A and B are shown apart, each in its own frame.
Chain A
C-alpha cells in the first residue's frame, strides 16, 4: 500500500501557499466537462458541493436524508475554532496549530494541522458573509468563548446551535447551486458500494430508499463526506442513521483505513437511564466554561447534592489539572470521570454519573446570564431527565461522540484509491488520537470550502480520465449485482432476531472491551466474540417487508452488517497499538496516577489497515509521523 502523504517541502508556514502555486489548474471553460460525485451533505459534503459548483464543476450530491439540511453536523452545539485573535488574548495560527497537535497527543500530521489552522480564519469570514447569525458583542463584532484544551478564547458560536447554523449556511449555498442547475441533488439515496475501474474510483452504486431500486452513477472523481462510525457502540451521541457503510465499502475496494481505534468518548453526556435507550444526548462542552464538575469525596455517598457540604465534595478536574481545570481536554476529562465512578463515587441511580454544577456561576453572574448562554441546553436536559439544572446539578457521563480514525488520505485529501477523496469526519487527517472541542466544524468546513476545491483540480488536471466509461461497464454491473445479492441475502434469512438486537449486542461488547479503557485480554476476547455475533446475524436475522419499497428494518440491517465486520478492525487496531495515546487508553500503559503513557519510539505512526479478503486478517501498514515543529512531549494539563 502506497502511503506517500505528498507533504510539500519547505517551511511549514509556506507549504500550503507553495503547494497552491505548484498544483495544476483546470481552465474555467474545462471545469464543466468534469462531473464530481459527492456522498454526504453535512458540513464537509455540502460546503464542497457548493464550492465546486461555484467553480464550474458539474456536481452530483447524494444524501440518505429527505433533505440536505438534516445531516448530523446540525447537532454540533458549542462552536467552531478559528485563529482570529479577535480577543487580543495571544492567539495565533501557530497557537491553534500547536494546541491541536498537542491535543491530538502527537499522533497527527503536522502539515495538515498547520493548514487547518491557516484556513480557519477564512471559514469564519465565509460563514459570516453567508448570514450565519454568530453571537455578537454590543458593538457588533463577533463574540468568542473558550473550549477544552485551549487557554485562549477562539471559539465562535451561535447560542448552543452552532452546528445547525453553519450547516444551514452550507445548505443555503448548496441549494443556491441546485437552483442554478450546477448541482444535481439526490435525496433519499444511500451509497451501497464504490466502483473502481482500472484502479481508479469512477462511481458509486446507491439504493433509492423509497423504491428500493439499485442504481449506478459515474463520475470523474468521487468524494466521500459520510461522517464517522461512533454508532458502532450502539449508544452514542450520533444520529440514528450514522453508519460506517460508505467508508467501509471503500475500504473493501482498496482504500486504507487509518487509526480506527481512535474513538472519542465525550465527557459531558446525559447518563444512560435504561435498556430502552436509543441514544445518548450530548450536553455541550461549552457548559464547562461555567459549570464545575464534582463527585462526593466519600464512597457510596447517597445524599442529595445540596446536602453534601463543600468540604465533602471532590472537584476532581480542578484538583488534578489546576491549569486547565474543568476545561481539560475530552479524553482526559472522560477518563477522570470513569475513574471516580469505578472507585464507587459516581452519582445518580446507576452510579455512572458525575455532577456538573452551575450554582457558583449563577451566584456570580445571575440566572439571566446563564440562561442566555446555555438556555436551550438546560431546557433539553430538563426535558430528558425531568430535573431542573438551575436548581439541581446536572448529572453527566462520557459517551461515544466522534471518531478521529477514518479513511487514510494524503495532503490532498485523496485516499489510497486514486480519484477517491475523503472529507470531514470520514477521513483521519487532522485530530490525531484526540479531537479538541469546536474543531470538528472547523475541519469539515476547511476540507469542503478551502482544501478540496484546490486539490481536486490538481487531480483532474494531472490524470487522464477515460471519458468513454459509463454505467454499462462490467464493474458497475458487478457492483449492482453485489448490492442486490446482499439485500436479498438480508431479506432471505427469516430468523428470529431484529437488526437492533444485533446492533445492541455488538455495541455492548465493543463498549465494554474496546471503549474507554482497553487491555490485551479484553481486546482478544472482543476479537473472538465479534465473529460469533456476525455468524449469528447471518443465520438468525429477521427483516420483514419487501426489498423494493421503503423498508426501515432493511436499511438498519444493511448498516449493522457492516458494523459487524468493521468492529473487528477496530479491535485489532486497539490491540496492536500497544501504547496509550489520546482517546486510546491501554490500561497496561499508564502512570501510577492514571495518565496515558505513549510509546513514541514504537508508535509514532499512523496505522493503516488494508483489506485482504473476507475472513482474512487485514494488513497493518504504517505512515511514520515526523515532528519538525512541535516538540514531542508528555502532554500535561496540570
Chain B
C-alpha cells in the first residue's frame, strides 16, 4: 500500500511547527499505524533527516503512551482502538493521512507529536488514591464488594490516561479522565472515607491545569479507546454537588 502523509513537525516548545509531506510505499495491511511510522522513520534516518518523534511503548493498547491525532481524530478512525492497535488494513491504498499532536491548552507540545500530559499526574496526585499505608489493610475478603459495583468500578478504572478525551473535546476538558478516577473510588466501599474531599480536590486541580469544562459534546466518549462512558461525568457532577455542600477543598 501507498500513502501520502502530512505530519506535524515542531522542533521544540518554542519553535513554530508546520505540516510536512512524506510519501510512503510498500506498506503491508498487517502493519500497525506505528509500524508504518517506523518505516518512515527508518527511511528518514537513512537520508540523514531526523525521525518523527512520537510517544509509544507497550504497543498493545494499555500503557496509554501513544497519542496522536489522525485525520482529526485522536487515535484515528477506528473505534475503541489506540493508535498502536490501529492497523493499516483500516485505510485505503493511496489515502492521504494527516497526523498531528493532541491539541489542548493543558497539553503543551514538546516535539513533533509528543505533548506534555503531566497535568494528568497532578490531578491524580490531588486525590486519585485511597489513603492506606502498606501493611494496614484488612483481609481482602473482609470488605465484600457487590459484583455489579466491582464491575462498574472496573469500567471506570479501565482508563489508560492517554488524553484522547481532552484532545477530542472542543473545550479541551479533562472531565472524562477525572470522572473515571472519581467514580472508581466512589463506587467502592474502600473509597468512602475520602469520597467528598477527593472529588473537590481533583476537580479544583483540573480547573487549575487549564482544562475546560464539559458542555455535553460527548466527543470524549467517542474518542476513548477504552469506551469509558460519559455517564461517569454525570456521576462526578452529582458527587461534586453533594460534596460542595458538605466539605471543603483541602489542597
Give which listed residue, A74, A210, A277, A544, contacts B110 with CB less than 8 A.
Answer: A210
Q: How far is the CA of A138 from the CA of B39 in the complex (A)?
A: 49
Which chain A residue lies CB-closest to B117? Answer: A66
Contacting A at CB under 8 A, from B38-67, are 38-39, 42, 44-46, 48-51, 53, 55-65
Give which listed residue, A65, A159, A239, A550, contacts B53 with CB less than 8 A.
Answer: A550
Contacting B at CB under 8 A, from A99-115, are none
Asked whether A521 is an interface residue with its Cβ less than 8 Å from the other chain, the reply is no
Shortest CB distance A209–B (Å): 10
Asked whether B191 is an interface residue with its Cβ less than 8 Å from the other chain, the reply is yes
Q: Once the chains bind, are A384 and B87 in contact (CB under 8 Å)?
A: yes
Report if A66-B118 is in contact (Cβ < 8 Å); known contacts: A133-B184, A171-B124: yes
Q: Once the chains bind, are B57 and A165 in contact (CB under 8 Å)?
A: no
Report if A129-B59 is in contact (Cβ < 8 Å); known contacts: A65-B65, A386-B87: no
Asked whether B245 is an interface residue with its Cβ less than 8 Å from the other chain, the reply is no
Please indicate the chain A residues that have their CB under 8 angstroms from the CB of B57 in the complex.
Answer: 65, 70, 72, 239-241
Q: Once the chains bind, are B53 and A380 in contact (CB under 8 Å)?
A: no
Please indicate the chain B residues that have their CB under 8 angstroms from the CB of A54 in the complex.
Answer: 133-134
Report if A140-B137 is in contact (Cβ < 8 Å); known contacts: A66-B65, A500-B42: no
Please indicate the chain B residues that have their CB under 8 angstroms from the CB of A47 in the complex.
Answer: 134
0/1 string, B109-133, CB within 8 A of A gives 1? 0110010111011001110111111
Asked whether A355 is an interface residue with its Cβ less than 8 Å from the other chain, the reply is no
Which range contains the number of B residues in contact with the other chain? 35 or more
Shortest CB distance A183–B (Å): 10
Please indicate the chain B residues that have their CB under 8 angstroms from the CB of A370 in the complex.
Answer: none
Q: Once the chains bind, are B125 and A552 in contact (CB under 8 Å)?
A: no
Across chains A and B, the number of contacting residue pairs, with CB separation under 8 Å, is 223
Asked whether B20 is an interface residue with its Cβ less than 8 Å from the other chain, the reply is no
Asked whether A518 is an interface residue with its Cβ less than 8 Å from the other chain, the reply is no
Please indicate the chain B residues that have their CB under 8 angstroms from the CB of A172 in the complex.
Answer: 124, 128-130
Shortest CB distance A184–B (Å): 12
Q: Once the chains bind, are A165 and B124 in contact (CB under 8 Å)?
A: no
Report the stretch among A173-181, A305-313, A389-397, A419-427 that lies at the interface: A173-181
Report if A142-B141 is in contact (Cβ < 8 Å); known contacts: A72-B63, A386-B89: yes
Report the stretch among B29-37, B167-175, B231-239 that lies at the interface: B29-37
Q: Once the chains bind, are B144 and A141 in contact (CB under 8 Å)?
A: yes
Report if A134-B191 is in contact (Cβ < 8 Å); known contacts: A74-B58, A125-B138, A176-B131: no
Please indicate the chain A residues that have their CB under 8 angstroms from the CB of B135 in the complex.
Answer: 122, 126, 450
Please indicate the chain B residues that have their CB under 8 angstroms from the CB of A158 in the complex.
Answer: 154, 157
Asked whether B190 is an interface residue with its Cβ less than 8 Å from the other chain, the reply is yes
Shortest CB distance B88–A (Å): 10
Q: Once the chains bind, are B145 and A276 in contact (CB under 8 Å)?
A: no
Shortest CB distance A408–B (Å): 26
Please indicate the chain A residues that have their CB under 8 angstroms from the CB of B214 in the complex.
Answer: none
Please indicate the chain A residues that have their CB under 8 angstroms from the CB of B137 in the complex.
Answer: 122, 125-126, 128-130
Q: Once the chains bind, are A161 and B62 in contact (CB under 8 Å)?
A: yes
Asked whether A449 is an interface residue with its Cβ less than 8 Å from the other chain, the reply is yes
Asked whether B166 is an interface residue with its Cβ less than 8 Å from the other chain, the reply is no
Asked whether B18 is an interface residue with its Cβ less than 8 Å from the other chain, the reply is no
Q: How far is the CA of A122 from the CA of B118 in the complex (A)?
A: 32
Asked whether A86 is an interface residue with its Cβ less than 8 Å from the other chain, the reply is yes
0/1 string, B63-82, CB within 8 A of A gives 1? 11100000000000010110
0/1 string, A133-168, CB within 8 A of B gives 1? 111111111100000000000000011010011001
Asked whether B244 is an interface residue with its Cβ less than 8 Å from the other chain, the reply is no
Asked whether B158 is an interface residue with its Cβ less than 8 Å from the other chain, the reply is yes
Interface pairs (30), CB distance under 8 Å? A66-B65, A67-B118, A70-B57, A71-B63, A72-B58, A74-B62, A124-B140, A125-B139, A129-B130, A129-B143, A133-B153, A133-B154, A133-B188, A134-B140, A172-B128, A175-B125, A175-B129, A176-B125, A241-B57, A277-B35, A449-B134, A450-B135, A496-B46, A500-B38, A501-B42, A542-B46, A543-B45, A544-B50, A549-B11, A550-B53
A-B interface, 9 closest residue pairs, ranked by CB to CB distance from nearest = A140-B144, A129-B137, A172-B129, A128-B140, A179-B125, A133-B154, A125-B137, A239-B57, A136-B150
